[in-house]
Amino acid sequence: MEYRQLGTSSIHASVITFGAWAIGGWMWGGSDRKEAIAAIRAAYDHGVTSIDTAPVYGQGLSEEIVAETIQDIPRNRVQILTKFGLRWDVQQGEFYFKSKDNDGREIDLYRLASKESVIKECEDCLRRLQTDYIDLFQIHWPDSTTPISETMEALLRLQEQGKIRAAGVCNYSKALMQEAEKTIDLASDQVPYSMVNRDIEKELVPYSIDRNKAIIAYSPLQRGLLTGKIKPGQSFGEGDTREGNRFYTTENITSINQMLDRLRPLAAEKKATLAQLVLRWTIEQPGITIALAGARNAEQAVQNAKAADVKLTKEDIAFINEKLSALELVMP
């Protein structure tokens, strides 16, 4: 495993970080606690020391599972990355969308990042995670109803109190990061990035490289699409947001699978799966610091961790980029 510094903070995270959304069950068809614990432990045993979670992942369940799993691991050997700013327990801030919790109850999600809410959420996260500090505390989504300076001042207060080691953002544009940095030194921005979703390369990547900010890439496997296991005509379960998504049309699935077929010989040469090759390519891209990879069982977690062992030469990366440049997707 490799470890990289998050911006100028003192945090060094594993290049493959455990993404803990799915284990919370919310929007993933429920959670198997025993399997989830085994997945995190297997990842840790293979060098994955960083875990990215959030309160909304199962409305607290993901954080509670993380806490149970790492309780016998020395706290300074694991990095907990969690979030704030998505509330389902109040009707304040900016309405986001309607959903259902793991028990099928309807909930309304709001983006809320007021000073009072940030401080409350931090205390709630500390309690659920059974720890006295959070390594990286990140706003989950921008909140248009709260001045960015107010949110960042709350983070600065929490940092001064030792309750968080570093502050980060998620889904922030370059402009939003610039505004936030008038108040606090951000460690990172967590954003979607994959072989087929590279919009951040235009502005955010150059900015982050120039300002020494970490980019945490989420959905690097494009929610399974870049594993080669999703075929045209794939049926998704009820509530699966991939159904109807622009990447999952028959035409795009077909084109992406054809591209992946051209990468299979390279993966075989590296004794890697397609998913491992894709994850390694992701963390080799300029500006990308770490990649999040979710797992719902131990086998998946180990496979994700082993992506860090794949070695790609400049020629390998050029070959992959050549195949990607020929990929044509139909986007609305």
**Looking at the annotation, which residues are catalytic?**
57
* CA 332 – CA 325 distance, rounded (Å): 19
**Can you count the helices (H) and strands (E) in the chain?**
10, 13
What would you report as the CA-atom Rg of the chain, rounded to the nearest whole angstrom? 19
Closest of 142, 165, 146, 147 to residue 155, by C-alpha: 165
Residue that is written with structure tokens 């075989």 in the block: 268
**How many residues appear in the chain?**
332
Contact 112, 85 (CB under 8 A): yes
Greatest pairwise CA separation for the chain in angstroms: 54
Determine the straight-line distance between the first and last CA of the chain, rounded to whole angstroms.
39
